[in-house]
A and B are shown apart, each in its own frame.
Chain A
Amino acid sequence: MVEFTPKAAGPVPPAEVPDVELYHPKSWWTKYVFSQDAKIIAIQYSGTAILIGLVALVLSWLMRLQLGFPDTFSFITVEAYYQFITMHGMIMVIYLLTALFLGGFGNYLIPLMIGARDMAFPYVNMLSFWIYLVAVLVLVASFFAPGGPTGAGWTLYPPQAILSGTPGGQEAGILLMLSSLVLFIIGFTMGGLNYAVTVLQCRTRGMTLMRMPLTIWGIFTATVMALLAFPALFVAGVMMLFDRLVGSSFFMPSLVELGERLEYGGGSPILFQHLFWFFGHPEVYIVALPAFGIVSDLISVHARKNIFGYRMMVWAIVIIGGLSFIVWAHHMYVSGMNPWFGFFFATTTLIIAIPTAIKVYNWVLTLWRGDIHFTLPMLFALAFIVTFLNGGLSGLFLGNVVVDVPLSDTMFVVAHFHMVMGVAPIMVIFGAIYHWYPKITGRMLDETMGRIHFWVTFVGSYAIFFPMHYVGLVGVPRRYNELGDLLFVPPSIADLNAFISIAALIVGAAQMVFLFNLLWSLRHGKEAGGNPWRAASLEWQTPVTPPEHGNWGKSLPVVYRWAYDYSVPGAKEDFIAQNDPWPEEPERAPV
């Protein structure tokens, strides 16, 4: 690696970086509630995200109940079903994954991993969380609004989204959804600016870009992408609010709804789709890249081996991030857009498979000749590789424009994106929580509960989503609350659906074990100590665990190497901490 060691450099006294004037909390409120400490904010973000995520999980049960056992549950009306899938999808993608990866892990890990005392702008960081919370509340409010939440599908395609044929279209539902999104974007932007600036400008001495853990690379790239992708959603949302509230016609052509002419005219529904997917595709990588980064670190630590091909990994992340801005129309192959676009977007889409492939290979090659400990984080990391591989490959069907034609808008698509987004990154989230929980709380999560949780979730969710591909292959469309009597669908499909639903219920139940574990281990988990996994990256080298406000005590650590020095020949241990000057002696022992 780039062995540039700042020779003269001793530990950096805090005052040497003048911008670090931490806000020192004066009361309980400013310490724990309106805290400006990135670590507290991270926990607030994660907690909120997980809670709202559970709502989405429950919704997925209800959806599965309806699909598995049609017309058994009278309360799941057609309207209700569409409201469920919409909220389920939107919550999972935006309010759970995006918030948890960037707001949660980003806030906690960035300052610790790059050796900063806090985010660059703690105050703005705090605002970011509170605005996110308001966005979530507005979203929740729509469940109680007259007419209920919107049932337009998480893609919110107009004209349907704002017409009376759709639940919440003419009531408050869609308005609350759009407002909530706008709020989320504003809140995220505040956080995102922080993450970006912190990574770029606040690294400690010796922490060059090419020594940053891949976690940081993933989160950083995702943040930058989000800052450039969310504007498109913001604009689309504002324009749709205009159409719905003041009767403009951006997305609304002249149309006759259920017999009566509407005042609209001349707008273009396709324009919305382009705006949405210009945001939407980068978005799916925004939730994927942090997972890529984190999983690389998990594998490296628990296989006691440096991540294979670090530079390639970094470049792959950056290239994927860049490419994902020019593939959006692969969601619109059958949308009626100019068919010639198909050639371009199919090509770019499949090209993305190449850098992604490199990442997959390097993860596996990191295992090769490793010293693999099957710890909980490792189990989840391995599960991620398999499920992501599976889901990514099914993406190649959809990316290859002509193959997408029969599969588009069928359950095959649903299976694809659950495998690749609803399972793989979720696996990483779990793995990451098992991995960093000791740093956050000072205690380990319970092993047995963890293993139960893992095996059920892994095997279970594969059992849910692998067969689902074949439901789609038969031709069952997505967003159907029941199949009724479709001529071409064999009755056996009903049984398959029932099976999937049961699996889903079981997997969901397993999550409760996890939540219990989270709370139980707070008290009863066994003491972890500062560095239970004997990991090299900086966050494990804090003077105290859990790290306090300011992270590093008197003086910042100095970094002498990359984050992956495991099993280095001749070293006294099988890992060398990033701030360990080995083989030389430190001028001053880092405090």
Chain B
Amino acid sequence: MTDLPHTNAAPERPAGLSGITTDWASDQTAFKNVSWGKAMMWIFLLSDTFVFGSFLVAYMTARMSTVVPWPNPSEVFALHIGGVEMPLLLIAIMTFVLISSSGTMAMAVNFAYRRDRKKTALLMLATAALGALFVGMQAFEWATLISQGVRPWSNPWGASQFGASFFMITGFHGTHVTFGVIFLLIVVRKVLRGDYDTGKPGFFTSRKGRYECVEIMGLYWHFVDLVWVFIFAFFYLW
């Protein structure tokens, strides 16, 4: 009963390309030593990529096909501090926050595999905190934009699609982050309780908990960050 799923993996295979194909086509598993949970997360992320992809493509077509001019991002998203305009300052901070949260997450995964519960939990909490901070700043940005009169159906500076697509896409991404934070907290709790050492079954799923859950959580988190980078590029830098 070792924890490695594929102790009985098929015999040695030819090298090179044919090796890869044989591997793929072999019995039992297409991806060797990839657990079911991880495979599921990867496939889900692939699907989610198509969701965000469609959103961004729609946004681009909207932006390119409108007749009225598009609001100038560097002004719209500028932060006014003591009278001086700081273009993109807030966004820069938000992006920084999110990226660094990826860093803490990666470290958490690392410690998780060393079975270091305390450090893992702390780092994940840090990740969650950064995520929450990000959502907070996003809420702040929404508030400012709304106070400046940006609405899904109109805005002071030009094409109405600006507001609509901005709220829709950042909103959708923000939801992803929020869910991420929630799941992080759940996993933290399990880590602290030591479920993953004892292999305590999940409440709903009745599946043995394994430290891999932390890594799977991490995959999702990194994906959300990656998506943000694209949103950042398309909304703020274009």
Contact = CB atoms under 8 A, between A and B. Distances in A.
Tell me if chains A and B make direct contact, with any CB pair below 8 A: yes
Contacts of B201: 21
A206 B9 CA distance: 10
A189 B44 contact: yes
B198 interface: no
Which of A15, A211, A242, A278 has the largest number of chain B CB atoms within 10 A? A242
A19 interface: yes
B40 A193 contact: yes
A398 interface: no
A263 B153 CA distance: 8
Interface stretch (B85-93, B122-130, B203-211, B221-229): B203-211
A394 interface: no
B25 interface: yes
B19 to A, nearest CB: 14
21 contacts: A16-B7, A16-B8, A18-B208, A21-B206, A23-B205, A120-B36, A189-B44, A194-B40, A197-B40, A202-B36, A203-B29, A210-B25, A227-B43, A231-B50, A234-B54, A236-B54, A239-B168, A248-B161, A249-B160, A271-B61, A559-B27
Interface stretch (A1-9, A89-97, A371-379, A543-551): A1-9
A127 B26 CA distance: 31
Nearest to B203: A123
Given A18-B5, A231-B54, A242-B168, 8 more contacts: A6-B27, A18-B3, A21-B201, A208-B27, A227-B43, A231-B51, A265-B160, A275-B54
Nearest to A229: B50
Which of B10, B27, B51, B161 has the largest number of chain A CB atoms within 10 A? B27
Nearest to A24: B206
Given A189-B47, A201-B29, A203-B28, A267 B161 contact: yes
Interface of A: 2, 4, 6, 9, 12, 15-19, 21, 23, 120-124, 189, 192-194, 196-197, 200-211, 227-228, 230-232, 234-236, 238-239, 242, 246-250, 263, 265-268, 271, 275, 278, 559
Given A250-B62, A266-B160, A197 B36 contact: yes
B28 A207 contact: yes
Given A210-B25, A248-B153, A15 B1 contact: yes
Interface string B60-77: 011001111000000000
A23 B25 contact: no
Q: Classify chain B: how many residues form its interface, as a range.
A: 35 or more
A518 B28 CA distance: 35
B143 interface: no
Contacts of B172: 238
A18 B207 CA distance: 10
B64 to A, nearest CB: 10
